[in-house]
Copies of this chain bind each other. A is one copy, B any other.
Amino acid sequence: MNIGDVADLSGLPAKTIRYYEDIGLVEPLRSSNGYRSFRQSDVHKLAFLARARALGFTIEDCRSLLKLYADTDRASAEVKQIAEEHLDRIDSKIAELTEMRATLSHLVDACAGDHRPDCPILADLAMEQKAGSISKASG
């Protein structure tokens, strides 16, 4: 199977598949004309990668997961740990974004958004650290 077919099947761009080969995630064969030749197992692996990436696992996570997937004797605990760590990262990110959202939404609501120059958003951004003791206290 050529890269275009595999791209269609896995949902990954051909560029990305080549990249995944570069970094050693897949190792397709080569045809005599130099074209990459993908086996069914390669397609399966790429679909696995597409799914894991869509769930936000990093490439290095994916590498670990693929190893664990290939090892039929692995303990599910190992996989679960990777997933739980990822879940924690997701939770942190959501919390961070939610806080940003709250602040920003507050500012947006406070801004008239008209032709006049007064803008609470800029005012907040420009807010000076009056006390001086605020910013670098516990860095």
Contact = CB atoms under 8 A, between A and B. Distances in A.
A108 to B, nearest CB: 5
Contacts of A98: 94
A53 to B, nearest CB: 10
Interface stretch (A17-25, A31-39, A43-51): A43-51
A29 interface: no
Interface string A108-134: 100111111111011011111100100
Contacts of A101: 87, 90-91, 94
Interface residues of A, number: 62
A30 interface: no
B74 A125 contact: no
Interface of A: 8-11, 44, 47-48, 51-52, 54-56, 65, 68-69, 72-77, 79-81, 83-84, 86-87, 90-91, 93-94, 97-98, 100-101, 103-105, 107-108, 111-119, 121-122, 124-129, 132, 135-136, 139
24 contacts: A11-B136, A44-B128, A47-B129, A47-B135, A48-B125, A51-B124, A51-B125, A52-B125, A54-B100, A55-B104, A56-B100, A68-B119, A72-B117, A75-B116, A76-B112, A76-B116, A76-B122, A80-B108, A80-B121, A83-B121, A87-B101, A87-B105, A90-B104, A94-B101
